[in-house]
Amino acid sequence: MKACGIIVEYNPFHNGHNYHAKKARELSKADVVVAVMSGNFLQRGEPAIIDKWMRANEALQNGVDLVVELPIQWSLQSADYFARGGILLLQALKCESYCFGTDVASEFDYQAFGKFVKENQKTINQTFQQLSNPTMSYAQTMTEVYRELYPQLLLTGEQPNHVLGLTYAQENAQYTNPMTSIPLPRVGASYHSKEIHNEIASATAIRKAIIEGLLVEQVVPQQTTSDLQAYQITWNNYWEFLKYRIIISSVDELREIYQMVEGLEYRLKSLIYEANSFEEFVQAVKTKRYTQTRIQRLLCYVLLNIKTSDIKEAWESNYLHVLGFTENGQRYLKEKKAVIDYPVLSKIGKKEEQAYKLTVRSDKVYQMGNPLILEQNFGKFPIRSNPL
Amino acid sequence: MKACGIIVEYNPFHNGHNYHAKKARELSKADVVVAVMSGNFLQRGEPAIIDKWMRANEALQNGVDLVVELPIQWSLQSADYFARGGILLLQALKCESYCFGTDVASEFDYQAFGKFVKENQKTINQTFQQLSNPTMSYAQTMTEVYRELYPQLLLTGEQPNHVLGLTYAQENAQYTNPMTSIPLPRVGASYHSKEIHNEIASATAIRKAIIEGLLVEQVVPQQTTSDLQAYQITWNNYWEFLKYRIIISSVDELREIYQMVEGLEYRLKSLIYEANSFEEFVQAVKTKRYTQTRIQRLLCYVLLNIKTSDIKEAWESNYLHVLGFTENGQRYLKEKKAVIDYPVLSKIGKKEEQAYKLTVRSDKVYQMGNPLILEQNFGKFPIRSNPL
């Protein structure tokens, strides 16, 4: 059997994701579509609007055959590490290709770019050193580097999907057997678009609409509509915990948190008393150098007490936590069992809980955001879905 | 001017406390009654039902002339340290006598007992070593020690005020100029009595009645009745924070907490997921050796992130934080200014906040228990009270 991989967050699953899964199958001519999906804490430094099991279920009912969790050490990360984790798990799952959305209309050759980076890493690093300066974020500096070394990228600074695609390509190029990369031009809505006009809208627009109490039935499948009636999680659900955590911690303790650099711990301590909401706090803490997303991720690490050593330890132990499959997905998993790179977790008992502890602990905090959120790991089995 | 000191918690201030203040003045023939009062976290390991400013105000309107805060490093402690801190501050404030409630009816000579302990410390320590065994708490062992060495104590194990009185006496005897001790037999209600019958009821009974929604006007002064209408704090207000805190902390981190001994950190970690309330959790954690109060104090330290080093540091820097005074109380403070042992804090600005940081930080957490609790330290001045 042949698989095409996709790297996703599904926050929540919408019609655009359905289109993506369908096109992935069609363009790759694969038997199964395998999704590596962020768990309950997402790339842009926020909790998922509904839990990972609900989001996996939505996917399985709408074109995806197998959903494996992208654990927190990879999901709650800048684009680089997010891509690294996603590609790592798709490679481990023996996908032959991967399909991703892009906001570049032209026929850009991602695979060629990946190869270029692999072969010119030294020059890239040197140029990065030269161009690096304290007023620019990492992403901004990298953009400048590629403007110089690979001008055909045509980076405008407003194509997050294209940038993510480039990162996938770089990661994929590092493997002995790179997967075939299948870019899929986005339709209907740009990534950050905040309005809903037709059947396809961005997840950002959908979350905004939900929070404003608007109906989103037009742009999401039925399962998502029904799931969203249970609860909707935002950072607000954790604001009191975050505030409490910053109040009780010394600057020395905060300094141990992953990505707490350049005295940010003092900023957190001094600004926490004045903010009346998470929103206000982030606005107060962020600077030119530290974007909102970067700060939000940092605040997730603080909330979840994630230290550099926790991340490094988790990076060393990779597992494939299966959230669910269709019959086809299960068949694929069985067939590849012997060649898959990492242990497959299809049930989390006491032993597996220990192996997977960073995600388990974080999910416990996620659960505290709303009494309706169920246990996320212990005793859970993969969803078996048989869509019509 | 002459002062009589009292060591109190006022949780909340009731008619029995009013009687205590009146009798203290009468029996001591002092010009002022000086109360050293626990701040927002109390001896039995719980948050105060209303904040320290409200409780100080109640006292000032009902027979007390000066209220000084017993800070958290002394208030949230076993009877020994609680007494040590209370006597320390009364000594610092140059009180000539101190008056305390006792549940022993006979004319017991506390001062003589204090002297005996001072002069026989070595024998007491040796006997303690001999009798000590892992199934008994510290208090139980001490009871056995005194049964042997000072049988006239007549300890029954059910006289918490008598035991506290003994501890005051021991502490007081250590000073060059011990204060005169004035025991006051309790009237109307035993310490732990849970029923309200007449004008005087125990604070325990009053809190129970309040939580059950009963009227307590009969047993508390008017100011207390009106204060209790604002809010009533219990451990329940902090249960979610405590649970979150235990979930995110590793056993290594919990082990750094003050009084976390003999693997209690593992008990906390393993029992936290099953408990549905603070009550349930305490019941699950407590053992024969670790009483409910002991565990509740430990959980306060966990909630407030108080480490052994924090306590030791705070013990080294003593301040007299004035919560309020009557005209008479203020006059006393002025007169004694030059001879008072520790710095008097009558306003907490940025500088004083640093000096008083353990209490300030704990009060910030206390404040998170209810949005109606006002700022507790920064920018606060002593209450000036002129009761009729």
- pLDDT value for B50: 97
Q: Give the 3-state secondary structure of residue B47.
A: strand
A274, A364, A370, A375: which to substitute to probe chain B, counting the most B Cβ within 10 Å? Answer: A364
Q: Give the 3-state secondary structure of residue B239.
A: helix
Asked whether residue B77 carries a pLDDT value surpassing 80, the answer given is yes
Q: Can you state the angle between helices A160-173 and A79-92, rounded to 10 degrees?
A: 50
| Residue for token pair 């905004």 | A208
Residues B261 and B365 in one domain: no
Please state, as a whole number, how many other Cβ atoms lie within 10 Å of the Cβ of residue B379: 10
| Residue for token pair 């609409």 | A209
Whether the link from the prior residue into A151 is cis, omega within 30° of 0, is no
User: ipTM of this predicted complex?
Assistant: 0.91
- pLDDT value for A196: 62
- Assigned domain for A222 exists: no
Q: Name the residue among B245, B248, B304 with its Cβ closest to that of A304.
A: B248
Residues B264 and B360 in one domain: no
Q: What is the overall mean pLDDT for chain B?
A: 92
Residues B9 and B150 in one domain: yes
Q: Name the residue among B273, B303, B305 with its Cβ closest to that of A249.
A: B305
How far is A231 from A244, CA to CA, in rounded Å? 24
Q: What does the pLDDT look like over A323-366, one tens digit per residue?
A: 999 999 999 999 999 999 899 999 888 888 888 999 999 999 99
How far is B375 from B371, CA to CA, in rounded Å? 10
- pLDDT value for B124: 93
Is residue A247 less than 8 Å (CB to CB) from chain B?
A: yes
**Structure confidence at residue B189 as a pLDDT band (50, 70, 90):** low
Contact A272, A246 (CB under 8 A): yes
CATH classification at residue A74: 3.40.50.620
Higher pLDDT, A194 or A49: A49
Asked whether residue A193 carries a pLDDT value surpassing 60, the answer given is no
Q: Roughly how many angstroms between the first and final C-alpha of chain A, as a whole number?
A: 21
B176 burial class (0-12, 13-18, 19+ CB within 10 angstroms)?
exposed
Residue of B nearest to A367 (CA): B244
Asked whether residue A192 carries a pLDDT value surpassing 60, the answer given is no
**Structure confidence at residue A288 as a pLDDT band (50, 70, 90):** confident
Residues B13 and B135 in one domain: yes
How far is B69 from A190, CA to CA, in rounded Å? 60
Across the range B341-367, mean pLDDT stands at: 91
- Assigned domain for A378 exists: yes
Residues A92 and A18 in one domain: yes
CB contact under 8 A, B248 and A245: yes
What's at A137, amino acid-wise? S
Asked whether residue B188 carries a pLDDT value surpassing 80, the answer given is no
Across the range B144-153, mean pLDDT stands at: 86
Residues A107 and A70 in one domain: yes
In sequence order, which ranges of B132-190 are alpha helices (DSSP H)?
138-149, 160-173
Across the range A224-252, mean pLDDT stands at: 96
Q: What does the pLDDT look like over B242-257, one tens digit per residue?
A: 999 999 999 999 999 9
Asked whether residue A2 carries a pLDDT value surpassing 60, the answer given is yes
CB contact under 8 A, A305 and B368: no
How far is A255 from A249, CA to CA, in rounded Å? 10
Residues A7 and A96 in one domain: yes
- pLDDT value for A190: 53
Residue of A nearest to B304 (CA): A248
Q: What does the pLDDT look like over A107-138, one tens digit per residue?
A: 889 999 999 999 999 999 999 999 998 888 77
Residues A94 and A179 in one domain: yes
CB contact under 8 A, B244 and A304: no
Asked whether residue B192 carries a pLDDT value surpassing 70, the answer given is no
- Assigned domain for A224 exists: no
Across the range B52-60, mean pLDDT stands at: 98
- Burial letters for A127-156: b for 16+ Cβ neighbours within 10 Å, e otherwise? beeebeeeeebebbbbbbbbeeebeebebe
Is residue A275 less than 8 Å (CB to CB) from chain B?
A: no
Q: What does the pLDDT look like over A67-121, one tens digit per residue?
A: 999 999 999 999 999 999 999 999 999 999 999 999 887 788 999 999 999 999 9
The total number of structural domains in chain B stands at 2
A201-205 CB contacts, 8 Å cutoff, 24+ apart: A201/A14, A201/A15, A201/A16, A202/A16, A203/A9, A203/A10, A203/A11, A203/A12, A203/A14, A203/A16
**B248 chain-A contacts, CB cut-off 8 A:** 245, 303-305, 361, 365
- Assigned domain for B131 exists: yes
Across the range B114-118, mean pLDDT stands at: 93
Higher pLDDT, A252 or A199: A252
Which among B374, B320, B383, B329 is positioned nearest to B352, based on CA atoms?
B320
Q: Which of B268, B296, B312 is the last residue of a domain?
A: B312
- Assigned domain for A321 exists: yes
**B368 chain-A contacts, CB cut-off 8 A:** 240, 243-244, 247
Asked whether residue A187 carries a pLDDT value surpassing 80, the answer given is no
Asked whether residue B48 carries a pLDDT value surpassing 60, the answer given is yes
Which among B41, B32, B140, B123 is positioned nearest to B82, based on CA atoms?
B41
Q: What is the overall mean pLDDT for chain A?
A: 92
Q: Which of A255, A288, A312 is the last residue of a domain?
A: A312
Across the range A211-219, mean pLDDT stands at: 88
Note the maximum CA span of chain A.
Answer: 57
- pLDDT value for A381: 94
CB contact under 8 A, A364 and B304: no
To the question of whether residue B11 is assigned a binding role by annotation, the answer is yes
- pLDDT value for B296: 98
- Assigned domain for A92 exists: yes
- Assigned domain for B194 exists: no
Contact B161, B102 (CB under 8 A): yes
Residues A109 and A254 in one domain: no
- pLDDT value for A144: 87
Higher pLDDT, A246 or B201: A246
Residue of B nearest to A274 (CA): B375
Residues A162 and A281 in one domain: no
Residues A325 and A252 in one domain: no
- pLDDT value for B12: 95
Residue B241 to chain A, least CA–CA distance (Å): 7
Contact B145, B204 (CB under 8 A): no
- pLDDT value for B28: 97
- pLDDT value for A197: 61
Higher pLDDT, B353 or B106: B353
Domain containing A294: what range? Answer: 236-312
Kindly report the CA angle at B25 between B22 and B29, in degrees rounded to 5?
Answer: 150
Q: Which of B249, B279, B312 is the last residue of a domain?
A: B312
Residue A15 to chain B, least CA–CA distance (Å): 36
* Helix, strand, coil distribution of chain B in percent, nearest 5: 50, 10, 40
Residues B342 and B299 in one domain: no
Q: What does the pLDDT look like over A138-158, one tens digit per residue?
A: 778 888 888 889 888 777 767
The percentage of chain B sitting over the pLDDT mark of 70, rounded to a whole number, equals 97
Asked whether residue A59 carries a pLDDT value surpassing 60, the answer given is yes
**A377 chain-B contacts, CB cut-off 8 A:** none
**Structure confidence at residue A201 as a pLDDT band (50, 70, 90):** confident
- Per-residue tokens: A332: 């694929």
Which among A66, A64, A50, A75 is positioned nearest to A19, based on CA atoms?
A64
- Assigned domain for B204 exists: no
Residue B70 to chain A, least CA–CA distance (Å): 21
